[in-house]
Structure 1
Amino acid sequence: MTSRTDTALIIGDMQTGILANYPFSRAPVSPMRELVRAARAHGVLVVLVRTELRASGVDVSENNTVLTAFHQAGSLFHEGAGGTDIIPELAPRPGDVVITKRRTSAFVGTELELVLRAHHVESIALTGVATGAMVAATLYDALDRDYRVTVLSDACADAEADVHDFLMARIFPGRGARVMTAESWLGEL
């Protein structure tokens, strides 16, 4: 097994409730399965990120209209309700890390940076849903924290395909991220 200890594969918001309720989110599952398999085989840290809000709503401000809407829409994003479980196709294994977030970015209010620094990670391969939400927010935070970021375009999805395409073609490269397919990234392992 080759080791890539300076690299982490981050997979965001691939949880049962999201895939059951937002059909666009199913598109990246196939490339993600291959990414996870190869990452584990090459010693790349696999980080699975999920969104989970407290059922009481104590962690949701009325000033945050998006999270308020998610919280009030039912138990889909509520901790302990089952919808926040990582999908079985990407189920965590020993050695993987599961991060629970309560905001859009995987860094805000979580231990993600602590885990990445403990593993001497300098490069992140970023995947997940939605491109215009979790992926974009996490990308900006990662770049501000001086990580090298590669976004795997076919392992991300957004309900609005034109938003996904625009971010991949213009915004992410313009901010300093590499954008490539999962297959291309796997070829570099």
Structure 2
Amino acid sequence: MTGRTDTALIVGDMQTGILANHPFSRAPAPVMESLVPAARAHGILVVLVRTELRVSGVDVSANNSLFTAFHQAGTLFHEGSGETDIIPRLAPRAEDVVITKRRTSAFAGTELDLVLRAQRIETIALTGVATGAMVAGTLYDALDRDYRVTVVSDGCADAEPDVHGFFMDRIFPARGARVMTAESWLAEM
């Protein structure tokens, strides 16, 4: 799998169960539906990330109240439930990479860094839900690993719109990430 660029588009947590149960997460779906095919057409690696926990709970520490709550909230994040599947409108293709994460960051305990380095990726465009969770966690990890990061602002959402705005306007730029709209990112292709 080789792209024509050193860029990857990361699409985080656009899962059937999340979109069905958390209305805020539906807002960036149309944006991603335009970004993903455009990225593919330009040879940009598409990485679809999902959160999935083992049904037994063996990967959930009692010390982690957030993931304990996720695990105990029914099958929403349980592997094999179907609720962790990527939404059909963004269904992975053979040339895409699907990463299964068990924590907030798409890098934590996954092969994401290995895949990106193997493909000589230096820049990531980051989208997903929620801004204050998956997007922020992945962004911090990416920057610590020396990737250049662009956050596609309208390709992200948070249950709290003011949290989304704060990260986009203040936190992400202060950490060295570029923040731009999907239209601007597509124009740079």
TM score, norm. by length of structure 1? 0.98
Deviation readout 1:58-101 (Å, 9 max, x if unpaired): 00001000000000010110000110000001000110000000
Partners of 1:28 and 1:183 in 2: how far apart? 13
- Which secondary structure does the structure 1 equivalent of 2:154 belong to? strand
Structure 1 residue aligned with 2:49: 49
Partners of 2:130 and 2:30 in 1: how far apart? 16
Structure 2 residue aligned with 1:180: 180
After superposition, residues 18-167 of structure 1 pair within 5 angstroms as: 18-167=18-167
Partners of 1:133 and 1:149 in 2: how far apart? 16
Counting matched residue pairs gives 187
Report the CA distance between 1:5 and its aligned residue: 2.3
| Structure 1 counterpart of 2:174, one-letter code | G
| Structure 2 counterpart of 1:175, one-letter code | R
Q: Is the 8 A contact 1:5 1:119 kept in 2?
A: no
- Which secondary structure does the structure 2 equivalent of 1:71 belong to? helix
Q: Is the 8 A contact 1:48 1:97 kept in 2?
A: yes
| Structure 2 counterpart of 1:27, one-letter code | A
What percent of counterpart residues are identical?
80
Structure 2 residue aligned with 1:170: 170
TM score, norm. by length of structure 2? 0.98
| Structure 1 counterpart of 2:122, one-letter code | E
Report the CA distance between 1:115 and its aligned residue: 0.4
- Which secondary structure does the structure 1 equivalent of 2:149 belong to? strand
Partners of 1:188 and 1:146 in 2: how far apart? 21
Partners of 1:19 and 1:183 in 2: how far apart? 23
Report the CA distance between 1:37 and its aligned residue: 0.8
Partners of 1:188 and 1:130 in 2: how far apart? 25
Partners of 2:52 and 2:155 in 1: how far apart? 21
Report the CA distance between 1:4 and its aligned residue: 3.8
Deviation readout 1:95-134 (Å, 9 max, x if unpaired): 0000000000000000000000010000000000000000
Report the CA distance between 1:40 and its aligned residue: 0.3
| Structure 2 counterpart of 1:77, one-letter code | F
Partners of 2:171 and 2:75 in 1: how far apart? 33
Gaps of 5+ in 1: none
- Which secondary structure does the structure 2 equivalent of 1:99 belong to? strand
4+ residue runs over 6 A deviation: none
Partners of 2:186 and 2:114 in 1: how far apart? 26
